[in-house]
Amino acid sequence: MSEAATLTKTVELRILRYLPASDESPSFRSFQVPYSDDMSVLQALQTIKDTLDATLSFRWSCRMAVCGSCGMMINGEPRLACNTFLRNLPPGPVTVEALKNFPIERDLVVSVGDFVKKIESIYPYIIPKEPKTVAQGTYLQTPAQLAAYESFSDCINCMLCYAACPQFGENPDFIGPGAMALLQRYNGDSRDGGQQKRLDAIAGEDGVWSCTAVGICSEVCPKHVDPANAINQNKTNSAFDFFLHYLRKDAAQ
């Protein structure tokens, strides 16, 4: 096929638009974009912004599924726009909406403030079991100890799991899959001693117990982090903690 023939083929993008200054509520608008075989949804959005409507807003950065900025609903599924290719979508218009379960700031941009607060609330850093000085050397870890938490450290904070989680939709205060994956990344680390602090942060209805093991969070994860596993492991931990905390010497009264 000649290049001219390729470029005449177009694809329709139905985009949920919302401009807070002028729109009462979001509504769909369609754009026709020249189609090429190697085009991602992100590239299609960039084409719209460059050539059709400069007011269209969306987040993006790396274009290679590493930064986690371009999460959005594509044909109703939470996906990264950069690694969703038009050629893999069914023929017909492509529906693009802001990530579900989050307030829309503008067009495809959602509020991330609550998510960042949740991440901060679970002590997202190693709290050493026994603090060492530099002179005492490094903290060593076996491959098996690394494997115990490694997948959870692959999270890119794209929030697709939150958009897939109906329980987060019902209860926006639920800590949610992503933050729990990060929690398990540290709780599962052999060098870490902060498990109790983190367990105290996630006990209760807004902690792990809003999860009903729907499991779609793990299916939509572009990095195969398996956040559903992180949450459900900590349901067990939280239940043990509930029954055992009276026996601990440092039990909070």
Say which residue the tokens 């579900």 belong to: 100
In the bound state with another protein, the residue whose beta carbon lies nearer, of 30 and 111, is 111
Integer Rg of the chain from CA: 22
Q: Does 239 bind another protein (CB under 8 A)?
A: no
Query: CB under 8 A: which stretch of 49-57, 58-66, 81-89, 207-215 binds another protein?
Result: 207-215
Q: Does 166 bind another protein (CB under 8 A)?
A: yes
Choosing from 12, 53, 170, 173, the residue that interacts with another protein (CB under 8 A) is: 170
Q: Does 151 bind another protein (CB under 8 A)?
A: yes
In the bound state with another protein, the residue whose beta carbon lies nearer, of 43 and 189, is 189
User: Shortest distance, CB of residue 167 to another protein, whole angstroms?
Assistant: 10
Q: Does 142 bind another protein (CB under 8 A)?
A: yes
Choosing from 143, 243, 250, 253, the residue that interacts with another protein (CB under 8 A) is: 143
CA dihedral 215, 217, 222, 225 (to 10 degrees): -70
Q: Dihedral of CA 170/174/180/182: which sign?
A: positive
Cα separation, 76 vs 78, in Å, equals 7
How many CA atoms within 13 Å lie on the side-chain side of 20?
A: 8
User: Shortest distance, CB of residue 42 to another protein, whole angstroms?
Assistant: 22
Nearest to 219 by CA among 104, 122, 43, 77: 77
Q: Does 212 bind another protein (CB under 8 A)?
A: yes
Choosing from 39, 67, 126, 148, the residue that interacts with another protein (CB under 8 A) is: 148
Strands 104-106 and 10-17: unpaired
In the bound state with another protein, the residue whose beta carbon lies nearer, of 20 and 132, is 20
Q: Dihedral of CA 19/178/169/220: which sign?
A: positive
Strands 10-17 and 94-97: parallel
**Residue numbers at the binding site for another protein (CB under 8 A):** 18, 20-21, 25-26, 100, 103-105, 111, 142-144, 147-148, 151, 166, 169-170, 188, 212-216, 218-219, 226, 228-229, 232-233, 235-236
